[in-house]
């Protein structure tokens, strides 16, 4: 017998339509068929949305059984309430939907030449029926569901899931992608791009760029991407056997773009051979998220650090490559110098106490500190023990979140040491411990 209110999502559909004129934006619509699987009627359901200010959200509309309803105010975050005219009785079903437009901002890109909807808050999500009783329960997505992405006819689209067809819709094309529960959070990116495919040891690399990619830069870029893939495969486990080739997609925004699984989105610097000859750390860090943040992600609300800096540390390892201890020490010293040049006008916060609501300067301070913490942890536990612990966590927490306590338990099990003092010194106090500074 269920205790408390709850629901199950039986059907789910998500669509994104990229609109160029009169102002570039993305129209988003999500619909669900839900069944009341709790022990009492449901009077409403809440849906978490992107931030109105941070993502330029407008034209909000909510529906219940095809009828537009006045959206209600939820008690937390950016959620909105879908009220029901009549309570949804136990075992009954209801079709609900929410739609809105995103003008871009934060992590969403909407430009005339391209767009990006990275994994995360661009898409709505139903939340447990809080406030309707204790023991409330939400629901995962169905095992399979469909996302459609509608774009101008000259756009290419790279998205989550498995593409299973497309159709012409006037001047647009609609692509269909089958999603599955346990896969990557829904994402899509694309634009009016030219494509060049480059063969490289370990697999093909695909470039999507607004202008023709110079051949020398493409060859260098394919080599860097392929080498990075081999390194991360060796360190953190290979991607799925049916994984698509790595994509390098030019960011359509003047501001930096976020990574998406299996792809990096650098800016126009990718056209230059010098960029690829310089071991491009920002691009390598974006690729690192495919093996780390997109398989097991930090708890960005409750404890973003230190695990939110793990991809940075992994990128440092990839850049150091086979350079040995001298290359490793050089990177650590560079990060220490960068840390010391941070402009922090407010009091620093210990890494474990930082939240996404803190200022950008405070979060950057914690990110650098956390990145260096992984090197200190490697020193204390041994590099092989740390790699085995991360591999264990990646398998155990796939599709979920991990925390500092998870990391400590796994590493201690591998190395047989009490790492409590090290974790406390680095994560419950601000700054870099003097012992580490003296060592490097």
Per-residue pLDDT for 202 more than 80? no
Tens digits of residue pLDDT in 271-307: 999 999 998 999 999 999 999 999 998 998 899 999 9
d(CA 26, CA 252): 14
d(CA 29, CA 148): 10
Tens digits of residue pLDDT in 70-116: 998 877 678 899 999 999 999 999 999 999 999 998 899 999 999 99
In a domain, 298, yes or no: no
Residue 348 near residue 368, CB atoms below 8 Å: no
**Average pLDDT of the segment spanning 352-358:** 92
The pLDDT of residue 399 is: 84
d(CA 416, CA 237): 24
Per-residue pLDDT for 131 more than 80? no
Is 164 strand, coil or helix?
strand
**End-of-domain residue from the set 230, 262, 291:** 291
**Average pLDDT of the segment spanning 144-152:** 97
- Assess whether 277 and 327 both reside in one domain: no
In a domain, 139, yes or no: no
In a domain, 220, yes or no: yes
Two tokens at 126? 């139903």
pTM given for the model: 0.92
Residue 24 near residue 47, CB atoms below 8 Å: no
Higher pLDDT, 142 or 369: 369
Per-residue pLDDT for 140 more than 90? no
- Assess whether 279 and 341 both reside in one domain: no
Per-residue pLDDT for 68 more than 90? yes
Residue among 131, 71, 76 nearest 97 (CA)? 71
d(CA 57, CA 81): 16
The pLDDT of residue 51 is: 84
Q: What is the CATH number of the domain that holds 85?
A: 2.60.40
The pLDDT of residue 318 is: 95
Higher pLDDT, 55 or 271: 271
- Assess whether 26 and 60 both reside in one domain: yes
- Assess whether 371 and 318 both reside in one domain: yes
- Assess whether 223 and 360 both reside in one domain: no
The pLDDT of residue 343 is: 86
In a domain, 136, yes or no: no
**End-of-domain residue from the set 262, 291, 320:** 291
Query: Using H for helix, E for strand and C for coil, what is the string for 259-277?
Result: CECCEECCCHHHHCHHHHH
Higher pLDDT, 219 or 77: 219
Domain hosting 335: range is 307-439
Confidence band (pLDDT; 50, 70, 90) for 322?
confident
The pLDDT of residue 54 is: 84
- Assess whether 319 and 432 both reside in one domain: yes
Confidence band (pLDDT; 50, 70, 90) for 199?
very high
Element counts in the chain: helices (H) and strands (E): 11, 22
Per-residue pLDDT for 11 more than 70? yes
The pLDDT of residue 32 is: 97
Residue among 308, 244, 293 nearest 397 (CA)? 293
Per-residue pLDDT for 149 more than 80? yes
- Mean pLDDT, the chain, rounded, equals 92
d(CA 440, CA 427): 19
d(CA 4, CA 237): 41
- Assess whether 375 and 425 both reside in one domain: yes
- Assess whether 156 and 17 both reside in one domain: yes
In a domain, 138, yes or no: no
Residue 45 near residue 83, CB atoms below 8 Å: no
In a domain, 38, yes or no: yes
In a domain, 411, yes or no: yes
Q: What is the CATH number of the domain that holds 390?
A: 1.10.390.10
The pLDDT of residue 230 is: 93
- Assess whether 108 and 228 both reside in one domain: no
- Assess whether 24 and 155 both reside in one domain: yes
Per-residue pLDDT for 201 more than 60? yes
The number of distinct structural domains making up the chain is 3
Residue 12 near residue 95, CB atoms below 8 Å: no
**End-of-domain residue from the set 225, 259, 291:** 291
The pLDDT of residue 112 is: 95
The pLDDT of residue 212 is: 95
Burial class (CB in 10 A: 0-12, 13-18, 19+), 125: middle
Confidence band (pLDDT; 50, 70, 90) for 2?
low
Per-residue pLDDT for 137 more than 70? no
Per-residue pLDDT for 21 more than 90? no
In a domain, 180, yes or no: no
Per-residue pLDDT for 242 more than 90? no
- Assess whether 341 and 434 both reside in one domain: yes
- Assess whether 316 and 263 both reside in one domain: no
What are residue 431's phi and psi, to 5 degrees? 95, 175
């Amino acid at each position: 017998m269920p205790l408390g209110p709850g629901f199950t999502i039986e059907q789910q559909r998500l669509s994104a339509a990229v609109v160029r004129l009169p102002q570039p934006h993305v129209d988003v619509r999500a619909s669900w068929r839900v069944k009341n699987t709790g022990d009492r009627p449901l009077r409403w359901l809440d849906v978490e949305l992107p931030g109105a200010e941070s993502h330029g959200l407008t034209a909000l509309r909510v529906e219940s059984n095809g009828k537009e309803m006045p959206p209600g105010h939820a008690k937390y975050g950016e959620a909105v309430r879908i009220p029901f005219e009549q309570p949804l009785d136990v075992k009954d079903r209801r079709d609900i939907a929410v739609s809105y437009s995103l003008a871009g901002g934060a992590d969403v890109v909407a430009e005339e030449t391209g767009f990006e909807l990275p994994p995360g808050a661009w898409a709505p999500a139903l939340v447990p029926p809080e406030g309707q009783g204790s023991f409330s329960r939400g629901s995962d997505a169905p095992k399979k569901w469909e996302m459609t992405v509608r774009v101008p006819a000259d756009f290419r689209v790279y998205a989550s899931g498995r593409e299973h067809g497309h159709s012409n819709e006037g001047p647009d094309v609609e692509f269909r992608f089958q999603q599955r529960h346990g896969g990557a959070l829904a994402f899509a990116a694309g634009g009016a791009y030219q494509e060049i495919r480059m063969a490289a040891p370990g697999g093909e690399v695909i470039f999507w760029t607004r202008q023709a990619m110079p051949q020398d830069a493409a060859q260098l870029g394919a080599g860097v991407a392929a080498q990075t893939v081999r390194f991360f495969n060796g360190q953190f486990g290979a991607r799925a056997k049916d994984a698509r080739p790595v994509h390098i997609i030019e960011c359509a925004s003047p501001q930096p773009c976020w990574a998406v699984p299996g792809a990096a989105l650098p800016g126009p610097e990718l056209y230059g051979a010098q960029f690829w000859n310089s071991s491009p750390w920002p691009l390598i860090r974006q690729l690192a998220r495919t093996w780390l943040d997109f398989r097991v992600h930090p708890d960005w609300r409750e404890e973003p650090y230190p695990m939110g800096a793990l991809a940075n540390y992994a990128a440092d390892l990839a850049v150091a490559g086979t350079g040995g201890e001298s290359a490793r020490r050089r990177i650590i010293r560079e990060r220490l110098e960068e840390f010391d040049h941070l402009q922090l006008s407010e009091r620093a916060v210990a890494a474990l106490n930082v939240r996404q609501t803190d200022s950008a300067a405070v979060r950057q301070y914690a990110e650098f500190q956390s990145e260096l913490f992984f090197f200190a942890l490697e020193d204390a536990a041994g590099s092989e023990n740390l790699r085995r612990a991360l591999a264990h966590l990646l398998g155990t927490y796939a599709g979920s979140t991990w925390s500092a306590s998870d990391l400590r338990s796994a590493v201690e099990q591998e190395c047989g040491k009490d790492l409590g003092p090290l974790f406390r010194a680095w994560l419950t106090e601000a700054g870099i411990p003097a012992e580490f500074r003296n060592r490097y």
